[in-house]
Chains A and B, each alone.
Chain A
Amino acid sequence: MPFRLLKFGLEKEYSEPRMFRSPAELRDSYDVVIIGGGAHGLAAAHYLAAEHGIHDVAVLEQRYIGHGGTGRNTAIIRSNYLTEEGARFYQFSVDLYRDLARSLDFNLFYSERGHFTLAHTPASLRTQRWRAEVNKHLGIDSEVVGPEFIKKKIPEIDLNCGGHQPPIVGALFHPPGAIARHDAVAWAYARGADQGGAEIHQRTTVSDIEVVDGRVAGVHTDRGFIKTRKVISAVAGWTTSIQRMVGLRTPLVVHPLQAMVTEPFKPWLDAIVVSASLHTYVSQSSRGELVTGASLDPYELISMRSTLDFAEGLAGHMLDLFPFLGDVKVLRQWAGLCDMTPDFSPIMGTTPIEGFYIDAGWGTWGFKASPVCGYTMAHTVATGEDHPLIRAFNVSRFGAFDLVGEKGAASVGH
């Protein structure tokens, strides 16, 4: 055993540097309170300090940072969305991600792999072509490719899906598609926020939000009352509990989304492979595990339980694409909460309640949006006006029948 490790084990106090402080007490008031210590909330805290000089910020997290969607996604980052609003928004996020390891001085294992969205039917290919044209128009690297190209890039794939599924007739290829280490994104933003002056309070549950004359006056927590005039709700799957506290109504319904990883093995899969028809996506992590996910659970549930049905279904589809994986063992299975909107776009920005800012509706596309969400929400809170990139995502769009139908989302079959 190395001497340093032995010495460390015998020490009474934790002597290594921490990513962020853990203040013992909540203060009586903060300029901004952020509910939810995931990548979105922590990024907002970071950008509030770094871009807008707002340092008096508390991030309240009911469990530990990254306990929710941040640590439960399949870590895919891409911007080949279908709507102009969506594609611009996610491209900005990709731009921030590419520079994030440097700007936060933290290794995020950001790895550009190339992203294939497989098409099994002419109808699916038509949607891919549509997406490619929207993407190219906006300067996003995106192209429809044929089966030969797919086979050349991914030699292990079975283009005929063993005869169990319609054969692969093409794909949308997005070269900048990347994966990153999601825990590191939460830690990096937490450290950035902490260095910017924000306080991160873990194991702090918000029980109510005080609203007086239509504006936010404070937040009740299990550790006491905090006076504040600005609250960001960045709790994704728990939004339906928070919105009730301020009397806001939204279309959000929560479904679990499950994922699993296999045992690690030698690198063989460079690309990120998604089959919209089979509802399967797979990439190989830097540890060698295959990280795989599927579609939402078929009914509403605010619980992070796993099911055998899911593992069986996903494994079946994996074998359709990669038959040689038959002997590979599943190492881990888990679920995250997806707060879904009817148009598959998020709900962001100002609300009818003055001082209450919402960052929700992140089912299946939240991780890739973390940097741009933090950036635009910080702007919105600092200026009081929605950032131009998120104007289309305001909660008022439902009352105005002005939805943003995002069929490029992972949970949409096409």
Chain B
Amino acid sequence: MKILHCPINGPRPIQEFSFGGAVRPMPDPQQVDDEAWADYVFNRDGEQGIQREWWYHIASNTWFIAERNITSDQFIRTYLWNGEEAS
């Protein structure tokens, strides 16, 4: 069974979590043109290697960030969102 470390609840089975997609900075919709907005809405990086992504612990209603290698499925680390600007 795959274990994911929740920053609040500690190690839990992966079935208790829901995947929320890559962390992506949202441009200000008032400031960008249609092309840039469409790029934000639809396009993804989806590349091999390490990705920062949103995960959700369903039972405790906790959203947090995980750094995961999406080629090897290894979680590097997990932590709570601290308001930082996503890079």
Residue count of chain B within 8 Å CB distance of chain A:
25
Contact A342 B46 (CB under 8 A): no
CB neighbours of B19 from chain A (8 A): 298-300
- Please measure, in the bound complex, the distance between the C-alpha atom of A300 and the C-alpha atom of B47, giving whole angstroms: 10
How would residues 32 to 54 of chain B score, 1 for a CB under 8 Å from any chain A CB and 0 otherwise?
00110011011111111001010
Do A303 and B46 touch (CB < 8 A)?
no
Beyond A398-B43, A399-B42: 18 further Cβ-contacts under 8 Å? Answer: A240-B47, A241-B47, A251-B44, A252-B46, A253-B44, A253-B46, A254-B70, A298-B18, A300-B19, A301-B71, A302-B70, A303-B71, A309-B1, A342-B42, A398-B38, A399-B34, A399-B35, A399-B38
In the complex, which residues of chain A have a beta carbon less than 8 angstroms from the beta carbon of B31? none
Q: Which of A253, A300, A307, A401 has the most CB of B within 10 A?
A: A300
Q: In chain A, what residue has the closest Cβ to B49? A: A302
**8 cross-chain pairs, A with B, having the tightest CB-CB distances, nearest first:** A299-B19, A398-B42, A240-B46, A249-B43, A251-B42, A253-B46, A399-B38, A302-B71
Contacts of B71 in A (CB 8 A): 301-303
What's the Cα separation between A259 and B74 when bound, in Å?
22
> Does B43 contact A401, Cβ atoms closer than 8 Å?
no
Q: Is B72 interfacial (CB-CB < 8 Å)?
A: yes
Q: A301's contact among B22, B43, B44, B70, by CB below 8 Å, is which?
A: B70
Q: How near does chain A come to B17, taking the closest CB pair, in angstroms?
A: 9
For the complex, is B73 an interface residue (Cβ under 8 Å from A)?
yes
What is the CA–CA distance of A309 and B45 in the complex, to the nearest angstrom? 28
Question: How near does chain A come to B66, taking the closest CB pair, in angstroms?
Answer: 10
| Pairs A–B under 8 Å by Cβ, sample size 12 | A249-B43, A250-B43, A251-B44, A254-B46, A298-B19, A300-B51, A302-B70, A303-B71, A305-B73, A309-B15, A342-B42, A399-B42
